[in-house]
Chains A and B, each alone.
Chain A
Amino acid sequence: MSSDDFTVFLSPDGDGLSRDSLLRTAAARFTGRDASRWTCVREEGKKPRFSQAPEVCFSVSHSGGYWACAFGHAPVGFDLQRWEPCRTAALARRFFHPGEAVWLEERGGSEADFFFLWTAKESYLKYTGDGMVKGLDWFNVLAPLPGGAQLRHISGPDGYSLCLCAASVGRVSVVRL
């Protein structure tokens, strides 16, 4: 596995295991180590990490009926989102980059296109660690991203969008837990 390869673990949410258990299960599968006692450290303004394995990079997302986490050996941002009914064009005009809003409107404003953009934007912000505080309108995921970050949209369950962001994205494997 090279440093730009990633593995996305996908599981039904609320299916008996807590999200922390899902995370440890996925970490064990990814690393081949016993992760049953690993602790996830979450600090304001920092990416979550395992105190016992800080070298393992991961990014968690949940939406609708699914939980997912991308693992790799390099910083990664990942987002999964169910296509929720919403006023796509209005939300894009309010929160997205103007170029993205125009693109969405010209294509008819479908939920598939809206969440294609949404997951790309959120995965980029998770990758950089900037979070949402600076907003969503200062970068355009339809154009080259600041710093040369790369996006990879991933096939997932029907009615969901998934996107991964990293400095360089090689192979992405999807594993269902």
Chain B
Amino acid sequence: MLELIANIIYEVTGKKGITPDTDFAQDLELNSFDVVNIVAAFEAHFNTTVSTRDIWQLRRVQDVLDYLEKKGFDHP
């Protein structure tokens, strides 16, 4: 799952070196548009909708992993 997330982030932003501890703002220096663009790519890939409230709680890659597991997306 981490590799899949890393691939989506790379495709959208060109950023590499993703680990579970990667912080989107601090480490990748992503801004709000980048986050929205990534969320749209996730939604398209997983055919789901992330609630607005949840989007801004996802600050690190680990948060995304936890979110996907909670939503039942354990496997790519």
Interface residues of chain A, those whose CB is within 8 Å of chain B, are: 61-63, 81, 84, 86-87, 90-91, 94-95, 118, 122, 131-135
Contacts and interface: CB of A to CB of B under 8 A. Distances in A.
A134 B53 CA distance: 7
Interface string B12-31: 00000000000000000101
Contact of A95 (B34, B36, B56): B36
- Chain B interface size, under 10 / 10 to 19 / 20 to 34 / 35 or more: 10 to 19
A84 B43 contact: no
A131 B57 CA distance: 13
Given A84-B37, A91-B37, A62 B53 contact: no
Nearest to B53: A133
A90 B40 contact: yes
Contacts, number: 33
Of A61, A95, A118, chain B has the most CB atoms within 10 Å of the CB of A95
A63 B13 CA distance: 12
A62 B43 CA distance: 26
Nearest to B49: A94
Contact of A131 (B33, B40, B56): B56
A95 to B, nearest CB: 6
B32 A122 contact: yes
Contact of A84 (B29, B33, B55): B33
B52 interface: yes
Contacts of A90: 40
B31 A63 contact: yes
Nearest to B57: A133
Given A132-B55, A133-B56, A135-B52, A63 B33 contact: yes
A159 B52 CA distance: 28
By Cβ-Cβ distance, the 9 closest A-B pairs, closest first, are A135-B52, A133-B56, A86-B37, A132-B56, A91-B40, A81-B33, A132-B32, A63-B31, A95-B36
Nearest to A80: B31
Contacts of B36: 91, 95
Of B33, B34, B37, B52, chain A has the most CB atoms within 10 Å of the CB of B33
B33 A94 contact: no
B33 A133 contact: no
A61 B40 CA distance: 22
10 contacts: A61-B31, A62-B29, A63-B33, A81-B31, A84-B33, A84-B37, A118-B33, A122-B33, A132-B52, A133-B56
